[in-house]
Structure 1
Amino acid sequence: MWKHRNVETSKCGNVEMWKHRNVETLKCGNIEMWKHRNVETSKCGNVEMWKRRNVETSKCGSIEMWKHRNVETSKCGNVEMWKRRNVETSKCGSVEMWKRRNVEASKCGNIEMWKHRNVEKTII
């Protein structure tokens, strides 16, 4: 457990819980829970839950749940549920459910259900 740690560059392997951590660049492998994390660039593999995360660019592999996430550009593979996500451009592979998503342009592969979605251009 690390608390109140401000770093510019951090490279870690297994981290159980990080709280109140502001970093500019962070590259990690397995992270169970990150809370209150404001980063500009984050590249991670398996993340179970991210809460209250404001990023400009995020590239991740498998993410079970993202909540309250405002991003400008996001490229992800498998995302089970995204809630309250405002993006301008999003390119994703398999998305089960997207709710309350306002996008201008979206290009996705498999999408089972979209709710409350205002789009100008959609290419599926």
Structure 2
Amino acid sequence: MLGRHGIDISRQTLARWVIQCGEHLQPLLNLMRDRLLESRVIHCDETRVQVNKEPGREPASQSWRWVQTGGPPNQLVVLFDYSTSRAQEVPSRLLESYRGYLMTDDYAGYNALGAQPGVGAFRLLGACTSQVR
């Protein structure tokens, strides 16, 4: 798109800028994750995503985007995480220190969260309305 306007920036330069932005934004992401994990209720869901030209994987490989929402009143936090897996290790990693209620669909991968040692007040609220029928 930049090339159409006569701006020539190398792929390596653009990649470096994205990496540097990520490094500068990491403290904000950490704060957002802390706020999310302080929530009384977190909503979590995963959806398929296909990434082409991913190193070490076939172009049609299935990957997953995990979304978590929660946070203090009037300060909604929405976090996205990418994984090549839908296994229970992913929500276990994302929510390992969470103590509260989790609203999900009926995917069994979330069940392992309730069995984690020391989880304490964790409760799985289960199906959202689209799965209730």
Do Structure 1 and Structure 2 share a fold, with TM-score over 0.5? no
Could you tell me the TM-score, scaled by structure 1's length?
0.34
Higher-helix-fraction structure: 2
Higher relative contact order (CA 8 A, sep 6+): 2
- Work out which of the two has the higher radius of gyration on C-alpha atoms and give 1 or 2: 2
With normalisation by structure 2, the TM-score equals 0.32
Give the strand-richer structure, 1 or 2. Answer: 1
